[in-house]
Amino acid sequence: MVDLHGQYLKIKDEVNQAIQRVIDSSAFIRGGDVHQFQEELAAYMGSKHAVACGNGTDALQVAIMALGLQPGDEVITTPFTFISTIEVIKLIGLKSVLVDVEQETFNLDTDLLEVAVNHRTKAIVPVHLFGQCVNMEAIMDVATRHSLFVIEDNAQAIGADYLFPGGSTQKAGTIGHIGTTSFFPSKNLGAFGDGGALFTNDDSLGELLRALVNHGMSRRYYYDYVGVNSRLDTMQAAILRVKLRYLDEYHRLRQKAAAFYDTALSTITDIQVPVRSPFSTHIFHQYTIQVPPGTRDELKQWLQEKQVPAMIYYPVPLHLQRAFSDLGYRKGDMPVSEKLSETVLSLPMHTELDEEQLEYITGQVQAFFN
Ligand SMILES: *Cc1c(COP(=O)(O)O)cnc(C)c1O
């Protein structure tokens, strides 16, 4: 599904030097590269503040902690995403309220948003799934009218541009009150281990987030808040500084692979290739096709036999996961997410796919349908 080693080989010297520099300095925690990475990342994102942390799940947790919510407060998100969001909402003692997604984009269906809002609702966590943005104007409109916070889970769309109707653009993750991301190795900007970051344009939130990720410490050994220990280590920051310089190029390579897939697969009637949203560029964290339910599993099996990896993101929507049965949802409550869990299939998508590999993969898909 990914080729992290191949990607490393192309930037090996730069990465190795960066790692050696950190070892030589021995400033393994909160070293200079962390601060420089935060500045460079903020500049890339066009965000006033970027706060590095331990991973994308912690980023979500810290974002929610920063909002000062009370037990029983409700946070709206979607059931068709990675587990992190509802996990941290529950850990903090809040309640997840789930809103189904759109079949075309896999993203939160903003037409269903407002009916989910009540007097206990305090925040919305839209997830920019697979590499393109949720309709943020619709989200911000509902949030403004009901005085809700918006935390963008941008783990899968770092660097995607939100396209406003007037022609202006803004990076995904910088439109709501706080944005979060993950540097898990297979993410578009992946570290050599765990990592994450938060974004905000609000100075006081920026200061609070910076304290929260480091035990709630405002200055050395003075603790103004209850925080967590969630720091990006210097080695990861040094590696990410190198890779950030290649991020736009990585996006182009993914988009090129996606275009190849589109051309080869869009003529197959049983395949729905990824639909491009009108309000976002697509940076293809995943290239996810939709195939009729029974056929999907047969196709996956067929590809596996031909040594082509293919993955199902996500096989069980979150409202049907046992750990969250207390939310009280049942099969049938989120029909689009449930259907998608039976029809989606993600094909190999990374920066190192060459034409020969793409031809082999698409050839095997075509052979299956012939
Ligand atoms: C990867 C991911 C996360 C969690 O990031 P980690 O760094 O693995 O904790 C959260 N949300 C989404 C949508 C993700 O894809």
Domains in the chain, start-ordered, CATH in brackets? Answer: 4-99+106-244 (3.40.640.10), 247-369 (3.90.1150.10)
How many whole angstroms from 264 Cα to the centroid of ligand 1?
A: 30
pLDDT at 1: 86
Tell me: the pLDDT tens digits for 173-194?
999 999 999 999 999 999 999 9
How many whole angstroms from 20 Cα to the centroid of ligand 1?
A: 28
How many whole angstroms from 147 Cα to the centroid of ligand 1?
A: 26
180 contacts 67 by C-beta, under 8 angstroms: no
Strand partners, 233: 29
pLDDT at 46: 98
Ligand 1 pocket test: which of 53, 82, 233 has the largest number of ligand atoms within 8 Å of its C-beta? Answer: 82
How many whole angstroms from 202 Cα to the centroid of ligand 1?
A: 23
Shortest-distance Cα residue to atom 6 of ligand 1? 56
pLDDT at 218: 86
Higher pLDDT, 139 or 220: 139
3-state DSSP assignment of residue 160 = coil
Mean pLDDT of 344-370: 97
Q: How far apart are CA 337 and CA 47, in angstroms?
A: 32
pLDDT at 126: 98
Ligand 1 pocket test: which of 184, 288, 314 has the largest number of ligand atoms within 8 Å of its C-beta? Answer: 184
- CA distances to 129, 143, 145, 224, 283 from 138, in Å: 16, 9, 11, 36, 21
Query: Up-side HSE of residue 111: CA atoms within 13 Å toward CB?
Result: 3
Percent of the chain with pLDDT over 90: 97
Mean pLDDT of 306-320: 97
213 contacts 58 by C-beta, under 8 angstroms: yes
Question: How far is C-alpha 151 from the chain's CA centre?
Answer: 12
How does the average pLDDT of the chain come out, rounded? 97
- Flag the least confident range among 34-38, 53-57, 169-173, 214-218: 214-218
pLDDT at 22: 97
User: 182 in ligand 1 pocket by Cβ < 6 Å?
Assistant: yes
How many whole angstroms from 187 Cα to the centroid of ligand 1?
A: 9
Instruction: Report if pTM > 0.75.
Output: yes
Residue 296 confidence (pLDDT) above 90 = yes
Mean pLDDT of 198-208: 98
Which atom of ligand 1 has the smallest separation from the CA of 55?
7
User: How do strand 222-223 and strand 196-200 relate by DSSP bridges?
Assistant: unpaired
User: 84 in ligand 1 pocket by Cβ < 6 Å?
Assistant: yes
User: 156 in ligand 1 pocket by Cβ < 6 Å?
Assistant: yes
Ligand 1 pocket test: which of 1, 61, 84 has the largest number of ligand atoms within 8 Å of its C-beta? Answer: 84
How many whole angstroms from 270 Cα to the centroid of ligand 1?
A: 30
How many whole angstroms from 85 Cα to the centroid of ligand 1?
A: 8
Q: State both tokens at 206.
A: 């920026």
pLDDT band at residue 314, thresholds of 50, 70 and 90?
A: very high
Mean pLDDT of 64-93: 95
Q: How far apart are CA 281 and CA 324, in angstroms?
A: 33
Instruction: Please report the DSSP string for 85-141 in residue order.
Output: HHHHHHHTT-EEEE--B-TTT-SB-GGGTGGG--TTEEEE--B-GGGS---HHHHHH
How many whole angstroms from 5 Cα to the centroid of ligand 1?
A: 21
Question: How far is C-alpha 41 from the chain's CA centre?
Answer: 16
